[in-house]
């Protein structure tokens, strides 16, 4: 998935990857995975088709009103998703002044012109984790969510959560 997003971000049709060998996925999904002979030698390499999502919706700790975003915890592939997607919507724990970005530009993981919209949404990653704001999963809420998925009641669950009734 990461390599598919990399190819999408770079605007190229596919990406040769390390790994994937031996996974049944390669044989099962030929529309996404192909094995190719290296143009430089006899080695074979697995290639993954590019992925360009229509939207990436990402939650960050800090963003300014232009969409410059700081990821203060581990970044996983969030910065990459922002680069592969056609449009990016940010939710943020808080809106901060642009001076925060200028103080430490290295922490701005997502430059503003990639971003379509910013929504101030404290607690937006709950019932999951957003380091260092809230550090543990809210398991009760998670169980309620699982139940809601099974019962096809996700909108009701979301309404309850947004109203603070969970």
Partner 1 sequence: MDYTRQELMAIATGRELRDGELAIFGVGLSMLAGYFAQKNHAPNLMAFTEGGVFGSTPVGGLPWGIEDNRISANATSFTNAIDALCVLVASGRCDVGIIGAAQIDKYGNVNTTGIWAGETPWQAGRYVLPRVRLNGSGGANEIAIGCKRYIIMAAHEKKRFADKVDYISSPGYINGGHDRQKYGFPGGGPSAIITTLGILRPDPVTKEFYLDAYFPFSSIEEIKDNTGWDLKVSPNVKVVPEPTEQELKNLREVDVTGSLRKK
Applying CB under 8 A, which residues contact partner 1? Answer: 9-12, 64, 66, 68, 83, 98, 101-102, 105-106, 108-113
Shortest Cβ distance from residue 99 to partner 1 (Å)? 9
**Which residue, 47 or 96, is less far from partner 1 as judged by CB?**
96
Decide: 3 and 32 in contact? Cβ < 8 Å. Answer: no
List Cα–Cα distances, 141 to 50, 136, 145, 150, 160, in angstroms. 35, 12, 6, 14, 11
**Which residue, 40 or 113, is less far from partner 1 as judged by CB?**
113
Q: Name the residue with tokens 């700790």.
A: 61
Decide: 92 and 118 in contact? Cβ < 8 Å. Answer: yes
Q: Which residues, at least 6 apart from 56, have a Cβ–Cβ distance to it below 8 Å?
A: 78, 81, 82, 84, 85, 87, 88, 89
**Which residue, 9 or 51, is less far from partner 1 as judged by CB?**
9
Shortest Cβ distance from residue 138 to partner 1 (Å)? 32
**Which residue, 24 or 54, is less far from partner 1 as judged by CB?**
54
Shortest Cβ distance from residue 110 to partner 1 (Å)? 8
């Amino acid at each position: 998935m990461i390599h598919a997003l990399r190819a999408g971000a770079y605007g190229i049709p596919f990406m040769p990857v390390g790994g994937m060998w031996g996974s049944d996925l390669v044989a099962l999904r030929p529309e996404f995975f192909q094995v190719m002979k290296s143009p430089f030698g006899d080695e074979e390499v697995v290639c993954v088709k590019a992925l360009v999502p229509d939207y990436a919706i990402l939650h960050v700790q800090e963003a300014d009103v232009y969409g410059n975003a700081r990821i203060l915890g581990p970044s996983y592939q969030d910065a990459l998703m922002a680069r592969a997607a056609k449009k990016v919507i940010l939710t943020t724990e808080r809106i901060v002044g642009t001076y925060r970005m200028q103080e430490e530009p290295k922490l701005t993981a997502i430059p503003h012109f990639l971003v379509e919209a910013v929504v101030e949404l404290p607690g937006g990653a709950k019932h999951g984790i957003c380091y260092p704001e809230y550090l543990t999963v809210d398991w009760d809420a998670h169980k309620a969510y699982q139940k809601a998925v099974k019962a096809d009641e996700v909108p009701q669950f979301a309404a309850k959560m947004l109203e603070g009734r969970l």
